[in-house]
Amino acid sequence: MKNGKPITLGEFELIRQIQQQAGTAEHLLLGIGDDCAIQRQATDQELLISTDLLIEGVHFDLRWTSLEDLGRKAVAVNLSDIAAMGGTPLSLFLGVGCPQRLSSDDLQQFSRGFLSEAAKYSAVLAGGDTCRSPGPLLISVTVQGCCARGRAIRRSGAAVGDAIYVSGTLGDSALALQQLQRGEVPLRELASRHHTPQARIALGAQLAKQRLASAMLDVSDGLLGDLGHIADQSSVGAVIELNRLPLSTAFRAVLAQNPQLIDLALTGGEDYELLFTSKAQDLEQQADLSPGVTRIGSITAAAGIQCRWPDQSLYQCERGGFDHFA
């Protein structure tokens, strides 16, 4: 809450404003305003559906997150799941549980961020629900997307000998959050990775189209935990070569002062990069993949995930990945 104003618009006026700004799309026969949205279905496509819940105090903190950035991030983290299947986003559905202390101004900022981020990925807001929350701000986003029949990339397809790749860089978001929680001001390039992550839609779709990935997911809970999901579901193990982890210049600068921070790159959450396995061993050289990918290890027959230094010594990570119920 910026100015302490209570909501001055009623529920229906708010929804009407969102409706006016939501726009439309070719696949959407009927959007916001009726009991259901109506979508056209392409018969050669499969429907991808995913939901994310964002709860104030658990997933975000309004002391350092603006409502507009929160709106952007709510879209990006949700669309990241579509990217992780190699799909293309179509429609978004937005549930908001809004505490009394937020003003209609705050909510308008949120929807401004939400809608502008959705537009970036050609996703359209097709419906939702709006209620009062007696407690924290609560945001639920559901996305529907599509992919060509049989082409969605699951977590279960990794095979022994596959190379492991990750897009972009790891650990920046977790480092920014750690600094924010300590009352420090993160460098802008770190802060933006935390506040306004990007969904790797184009990369995911390209990997699916060219059949380059055998298994894939997005890194939301930390590399080790998320690679663990691929390993479990594919019944394989993995080796990570620590010297190959892709780290930003800003991250490397802090790591040089504190080597233990390598754990943030391994287990810090909210990178929203794509982690995938592939038969192809040379994707680092494939210049048309954007953002570029880094080969960080290989899939093994032996169960478990090992982190290795170049001298072959093993590293035991002290930090666990994020688990809401741990």
Q: Which residues bind ligand ADP (CB under 6 A)?
A: 15, 18, 32-35, 94, 96, 125, 127-130
- Return the number of the residue (107 or 247) whose C-beta is nearest ligand ADP: 107
CA dihedral 207, 213, 219, 224 (to 10 degrees): -160
- The answer to whether 311 and 170 have CB atoms below 8 angstroms apart is no
Residue 86: name its binding partner from Mg ion, ligand ADP, none (Cβ under 5 to 8 Å by kind). Answer: none
Residue 180: name its binding partner from ligand ADP, Mg ion, none (Cβ under 5 to 8 Å by kind). Answer: none
The nearest distance, CB 99 to ligand ADP, in angstroms, is: 15
- Return the number of the residue (15 or 75) whose C-beta is nearest ligand ADP: 15
In the sheet that holds 88-98, the strands lie side by side as 45-55, 138-148, 88-98, 124-132
The nearest distance, CB 326 to Mg ion, in angstroms, is: 34
Distance separating alpha carbons of residues 128 and 144, to the nearest angstrom? 13
The nearest distance, CB 185 to Mg ion, in angstroms, is: 40
Residue 304: name its binding partner from ligand ADP, Mg ion, none (Cβ under 5 to 8 Å by kind). Answer: none
- Spell out the residues 6+ positions from residue 249 whose beta carbon is closer than 8 angstroms to its own: none
- The answer to whether 89 and 121 have CB atoms below 8 angstroms apart is yes
The nearest distance, CB 143 to ligand ADP, in angstroms, is: 13
- Return the number of the residue (53 or 253) whose C-beta is nearest Mg ion: 53
Where b means 16+ CB within 10 Å and e means fewer, 92-101 reads: bbbbbbbbee
Residue nearest to Mg ion (CB): 129
Binding site for Mg ion (CB under 5 A): 129
The nearest distance, CB 309 to Mg ion, in angstroms, is: 54
Residue 184: name its binding partner from ligand ADP, Mg ion, none (Cβ under 5 to 8 Å by kind). Answer: none
**Token digits of residue 217:** 């997911």
- Return the number of the residue (32 or 227) whose C-beta is nearest Mg ion: 32
- Return the number of the residue (15 or 164) whose C-beta is nearest Mg ion: 15
270: alpha, beta or left, given left = phi > 0 and alpha = psi -120 to 50? left
Residue 77: name its binding partner from ligand ADP, Mg ion, none (Cβ under 5 to 8 Å by kind). Answer: none
- Return the number of the residue (142 or 156) whose C-beta is nearest ligand ADP: 142
- Return the number of the residue (129 or 232) whose C-beta is nearest Mg ion: 129
Query: What is the 8-class DSSP label of residue 129?
Result: E
- The answer to whether 277 and 162 have CB atoms below 8 angstroms apart is yes
- Return the number of the residue (32 or 85) whose C-beta is nearest ligand ADP: 32
The nearest distance, CB 32 to ligand ADP, in angstroms, is: 4
The nearest distance, CB 37 to Mg ion, in angstroms, is: 12
Three-state SS letters, 23-62: CCCCCEEECECECCCEECCCCCEEEEEEEEEEEECCCECC
Residue 170: name its binding partner from ligand ADP, Mg ion, none (Cβ under 5 to 8 Å by kind). Answer: none
Q: Give kind and range of the element (H or E) at residue 89.
A: strand 88-98
The nearest distance, CB 29 to ligand ADP, in angstroms, is: 13
**Exposed, middle or buried by CB within 10 Å (0-12, 13-18, 19+), for 53?**
exposed
DSSP assignment of 252-274 equals HHHHHH-GGGHHHHHH------E
